[in-house]
Amino acid sequence: MIRFANSDYLYLLWLVPILIALYWYTFKQQNNILEKFAGKKLHDVLFPLRSKLKPSLKYGMTLFAIVLIIIALANPQVGSKIEDVKQIGIEVYILLDVSRSMGAEDIKPSRLDKAKFEISNLIQKLQGDKLGLVVFAGQAYIQFPLTSDYSAANLFLNAVDFNSVPQPGTAIGPAIDMALKSFRYDDDTKKAIVLITDGEDHEGNIDAAVDEAKSKDVAIYSIGFGSPAGVPIPVYDDNGKQTGFMKDNQGNIVLTKLDEEILKSITEKASGKYYRGSNGQDELNEIYNDLAKIQQSEYGSKKITEYEDRFYYFLFPAIIILFAEILISSNKSKWLARFEKLREVKQS
């Protein structure tokens, strides 16, 4: 397996076509100036040692050396050792509510933004655990499956917004079902679900999903974001300016309320714990502490654990080419002069 330790340097390769275009433009300009000074037939008389091909040859060598140096700076590496590494951890699916009610701002900056912030913090603290994310509103979708690649997990998390699920509503039951179906039960790895929502379920079928989780020994933790008293849901235009509040079909402002009873019932049945979301506290950190107490299991994962630098494969040839370019004279060589005469004969 090959990788680049400093891949950002590869962007410098965009300089190559620019340098080629610059050389072509300069070459044309010099030829135009010479033609204005004297006709082509007088060039060999006035400049007997001038080579027409060597400048291009020397510039091409310099350009090739620059490409090799850029690749050397990126430091290509080759995986030198593959071993079966045993990792210890549990499998965790986070179920994130992305319905419009999560846009309420009783939790700052909004319920969804605060939830994403806490999930990001949790991802940074997990070590060895496999993490997956299900987003749901009227339907449930897997944002990313179980993985121990936390960088990729954060990347997919950042892409989550209210448009991630087009169907309106809050389908907690189907979200739990999707997570349960996505777990693998052919090993002894402990499994847990973390549900983040305001609890306003519109689809039903929660009890059956929770019973299924209990039968499979999957613990469910939940965080309820919002106010039990109810708050309006702000509406913004494309420029981020608030234009009002969400209204129902009769023109009344919709109030979204946190339904704690549903979430408490889910966690009690599924051997988990309920947390009330707040502006200042990181509830997922508390859940992480609970997850750390769960008996962890080993699972195998093949990884390339060692890489060896190979930058010198490109740096040494670049140095040799640059030395050779310096040693090559810009004047005509006998063999090159013959080649140029043959070239001029064919062109005439």
CATH code 3.40.50.410 for 86-301: yes
Residue 300 has pLDDT above 70, yes or no: no
Residue range(s) of every CATH 3.40.50.410 domain in the chain: 86-301
What is the pLDDT at residue 43? 54
For the residues 21-33, what does the mean pLDDT come to? 83
What is the pLDDT at residue 2? 80
What span, in angstroms and rounded, lies between the C-alpha atoms of 305 and 80?
8
pLDDT band at 256 (very low <50, low <70, confident <90, very high): confident
How many other CB atoms sit within 10 Å of the CB of residue 129?
A: 25
Name the residue among 258, 266, 314 with its Cα closest to residue 106.
Answer: 258
Phi, psi of 343 (to 5 degrees): -65, -40
pLDDT band at 250 (very low <50, low <70, confident <90, very high): confident
Residue 346 has pLDDT above 90, yes or no: no
C-alpha dihedral, 160 to 161 to 162 to 167, nearest 10°: -20
The number of residues in the chain equals: 348
Residue 219: burial class (beta carbons within 10 Å; 0-12, 13-18, 19+) = buried
What is the pLDDT at residue 251? 85
For the residues 207-212, what does the mean pLDDT come to? 93
Q: What is the mean pLDDT of the chain?
A: 83
309 - beta bridge partners?
77
For the residues 215-219, what does the mean pLDDT come to? 92
Residue 150 has pLDDT above 70, yes or no: yes
pTM of the model: 0.60
Q: pLDDT of 62-111, one tens digit each?
A: 999 999 999 999 999 887 666 665 656 788 999 999 999 999 998 889 99
pLDDT band at 263 (very low <50, low <70, confident <90, very high): very high
pLDDT band at 339 (very low <50, low <70, confident <90, very high): low
List the Cα angle 214/220/225 in 5-degree steps: 145
Max alpha carbon distance in the chain (Å)? 99
